Amino acid sequence: MCGRFAITLPNDAMAQLFAAAPANDLPDVPNYNVCPTTQVHVVRGGDVGRQLVSMRWGFLPHWYKATDGGPLLINARAETIAEKPAFRAACRQRRCLIPVTGFYEWTKDEEGTRWPWYIHADAPLALAGIWQSWEGEETPFDTCAIVTTGANGTMSAIHHRMPVVISHEDWGLWLGEKGHGAATLMQAAPDDLLRFHQVDRAVNSNRAHGPELIEPIDPT
């Protein structure tokens, strides 16, 4: 599961990092609390090269008649992505990268209170994604989902799932620029890539967006 994330890299730096041509309608940054159904940064390949574009986070299969025409598909499980009718065509033909600075997961204490954790690395992360153009309204728009897999040893301390992280040397393979074999990338990141710390429950509100959201707190 990956239900919230942060992105703090400026748009021009993002475009440079991924060697992608930036669109004119990219979401504002920084955003320390990116929520489902909002616009997110997406890197996709194509005949004219890589593009950094804006997409709705929440994959909409072509048969949805409305944006709420079925379950909210913000994640796609790596184990079944090639079989699910909603995802299988996108998995083969429309893979993308979703840049993040870090992401959040939650645990529950003995009283059932949900506490958020911020997970990050030494550098921005490129999460595996898939995308779909949805034509259920007058103006078609693009939508995306984050690919997830079973947690590695580090992440398993707080959650049993994690997003698939694509390493720099594999970006081209995931985007379809280097032939076949992208399926081999849908696995957990090395245990030593990610770190995490507990953060304030303010991030639970989708109205909160400031840098204080990723600051560590004393769990005691």
Kindly report the number of other CB atoms within 10 A of residue 157's CB atom.
10
Q: Look at residues 162, 220, 183, 111 and name the one whose alpha carbon lies nearest to residue 5.
A: 162
Within 109-167, strands assigned E span 114-134, 141-150, 161-163
Spot the catalytic one: 35, 91, 96, 105: 105
Helix (H, G, I), strand (E, B) or coil at 16: helix
Alpha-carbon span 148 to 75, nearest angstrom: 6
Cβ-defined contacts of 199-203 (< 8 Å, 24+): 199/104, 199/116, 199/117, 199/118, 200/116, 201/113, 201/114, 201/115, 201/116, 203/4, 203/32, 203/33, 203/104, 203/116
Q: In whole angstroms, give the CA distance from residue 206 to residue 170.
A: 33
Could you tell me the end-to-end alpha-carbon distance of the chain, in angstroms, rounded to an integer? 26
Q: Exactly one of 2, 35, 96, 144 is catalytic; which is it?
A: 2
Residue 105 annotated as catalytic: yes
* Cβ within 8 Å of residue 112, ≥6 positions away: none
Does the annotation count 2 as an active-site position?
A: yes
What span, in angstroms and rounded, lies between the C-alpha atoms of 153 and 24? Answer: 40
Catalytically active residues, by annotation:
2, 105
